[in-house]
Chain A
Amino acid sequence: MSVTALTALQQDLQSCEGCGLLSRPAHGSHEGRCPRCDEELTFRKPASLQRTWAFLIGAAICYIPANLLPVLTTTTAAGAESDTILQGVVLLWSPTGWPLSLIVLIASIIIPIGKIAALAYLLITVQRGSITNNRQRVLLYRMVEFIGRWSMVDVFVDTFTASLVQLQPLMAVEPSAGLVFFAAVVVLTMLAAESFDPRLIWDSASSGEGLHG
């Protein structure tokens, strides 16, 4: 782009995350309050990279037991049987049930690892000061934000299966430890996405224009 793009940061202006109002902090000050909605203002989300990394590493660690440990235990007269998320996907797979099986596979296994990989990529490129593919990167961030909630599907599947299938002594279904880790992955990746500041993607390109100060 040949047009010199100016950002609020370069002009010492702060944009409110609550109400969107643009305002000027007192001279030399880095924090003030939004005169319209009283929100505390900063130029960028505070400690965005550190916080996002912390949530992301937590999510990556929980992702392992979430997939290795069983999420449901089915007790019948024949004994108890435990299923992991992947085994649940395989159980659902049938000539008629495969679309649902695919939904669970995507929502529970592919989306969480995809989110972790995408956010790690965004963090690394921001830290390296990358100035390329900015539009694609911000689009990736929006996808992560938009799709993230759908990982919760398996938590709901297991919750309602367990609460409904209580047919003692015939059959009973109870959650298992894997579900706790899986729920943690969903929550931590959502918090990671929320603490990432997409404006950081553009900051390296803007600072190259040397307009600040």
Chain B
Amino acid sequence: MWDPAMYNSPLSDSSLIACPDCDLLQRLPEIAPGESARCPRCDVELWRRHAHSLDRPLALTVAAAILYVVANSVPMLGLTVVGHEAFTTVFGGAAHLWSAGWEGVSALVFFTAVAAPGLQIGLMLAILLGARRARPPRWVGTLLRYYEQVATWSMIEVMILGVLVALIKIADYAKVIPGLALFVLGALIFLIAAIEASFDPREVWDRVEWAEKAARQPAAGEPMTEAAS
């Protein structure tokens, strides 16, 4: 049931914010696309405005989704040594650890290198498609909250560095073959960075339907007994 006491009351001046890093109350200035606003006390970047902040990330996200599928279905690296040949994919690395009895580390590798990047791209796609509606539904906000948590654990760029170090280590005693996935993942790093740099969460939050309103809606259809008070 909807309980009005559950929700905080918003301020009448919606440009007032508190700095997330130092709690300083301040008014967010109106800025032009390309400009950014910083906290005067702790210097954190509060907001960077972008032109086309929904269209540009959408195009990049669609491209990222395609690259993600390719990167996870072709070999990432291989080696040949005296007639032996071996290849592995990103998933293959995690799967090998699992079968060798290192389930915990395997799960961590799978989550940070496969699941989290996939979720990150998928959530962003859903957020951008939802946010383009005239009145973005509530689930867009819910997904945006998950997106920020998932992004922390999405570590493709760290994995690529690890793979390069592994390649050089192995090159001492075998001929290593960089696979297609390695190059695709390299491109994916730049795409994900570009999505993050062109997306403006504030644009979504400004337009999304409020939780408080959505919670009140069922009551709107009922007989107007309480509304009179």
20 contacts between A and B (CB under 8 A): A5-B24, A15-B23, A18-B144, A19-B141, A32-B5, A32-B7, A37-B211, A97-B168, A134-B42, A138-B21, A155-B105, A159-B96, A159-B106, A159-B109, A160-B88, A162-B97, A190-B152, A202-B22, A203-B23, A206-B23
A21–B158 touching, CB < 8 Å: no
Within 8 A of A (CB), among B3-22: 5-11, 16-18, 20-22
What does the 1/0 interface line of A170-213 toward B look like (CB < 8 Å)? 11001100011001000100100010001101110010000000
How many Å lie between the Cα of A167 and that of B6 in the bound state? 62
Taking the closest CB of chain A, its distance from the CB of B146, in whole angstroms, is: 10
A125 within 8 A of partner (CB) = no
Is the CB–CB distance between A153 and B21 below 8 Å?
A: no
CA distance A163 to B96 in the complex (A): 6
Question: Are the C-beta atoms of B165 and A170 separated by less than 8 Å?
Answer: no
User: In the complex the two chains form, is B166's CB within 8 Å of A157's CB?
Assistant: yes
Chain B, range 166-205, C-beta contacts under 8 Å to A: 166, 168-170, 173-174, 201-202, 205
CB distance from A83 to the nearest CB of B (A): 10
Chain A residues engaging chain B, CB cutoff 8 angstroms: 1, 5-9, 11, 13-15, 17-26, 29, 32-39, 41, 88, 91-92, 97, 100, 103-104, 107, 134-135, 138-139, 141-142, 149-150, 152-167, 170-171, 174-175, 179-180, 183, 187, 190, 194, 198-199, 201-203, 206
Task: Please name the 4 residue pairs, one residue from A and one from B, whose CB atoms are nearest each other, closest first.
Answer: A156-B162, A8-B18, A23-B8, A163-B96
Whether B21 pairs with A198 at a CB distance below 8 angstroms is yes
Chain B residues within 8 Å of A32, by CB = 5-8
Asked if B17 contacts A20 (CB within 8 A), the reply is yes
CA distance A197 to B106 in the complex (A): 31
Closest to B107 in A: A183
Asked whether, in the complex, the Cβ of A161 is within 8 Å of the Cβ of B78, the reply is no
Interface presence of B84 (CB below 8 A): yes
Binding site for A on B (CB under 8 A): 5-11, 16-18, 20-25, 41-44, 76-79, 81-82, 84, 86, 88, 92-97, 100, 102, 104-106, 108-109, 112-113, 138, 141-142, 144-145, 148, 152, 155, 158-159, 161-166, 168-170, 173-174, 201-202, 205, 208, 210-212
**By the criterion CB–CB under 8 Å, are B155 and A149 in contact?**
yes
Residues of A within 8 A of B113 (CB): 156
Distance between Cα atoms of A35 and B6 in the complex (Å): 9
> Which residues of the partner chain A approach B88 to less than 8 Å between Cβ atoms?
160, 163-164
Cα A179 to Cα B201 in complex, Å, equals 37
Seed contacts A5-B41, A202-B22; 20 additional CB < 8 Å A-B pairs: A6-B24, A20-B20, A20-B205, A33-B8, A35-B8, A36-B212, A37-B141, A37-B144, A37-B208, A92-B168, A92-B169, A107-B161, A138-B44, A159-B162, A160-B163, A164-B77, A164-B166, A179-B105, A180-B102, A199-B22
Q: If A155-B162, A159-B105, A199-B23 touch, does A167 touch B84 (CB 8 Å cutoff)? A: yes
Please state if A199 and B170 are interface contacts (CB–CB under 8 Å). no
A210 → chain B, closest Cβ, in Å? 16
Q: Which residue of B lies closest to A199 (CB)?
A: B23
Q: How far is the CB of A55 from chain B (nearest CB, A)?
A: 14
Q: Is the CB of B7 within 8 A of A35?
A: yes
Given contacts A15-B18, A35-B212, contact A202 B23 (CB under 8 A): yes
Residues of chain A contacted by B9 (CB below 8 angstroms): 23-24, 26, 35
Q: Select from chain B the residue with minimum beta-carbon distance to A43.
A: B23
Tell me whether A164 and B86 are in contact in the complex, defined as CB-CB below 8 angstroms, given that A153-B162, A156-B163, A175-B102 are known contacts. yes
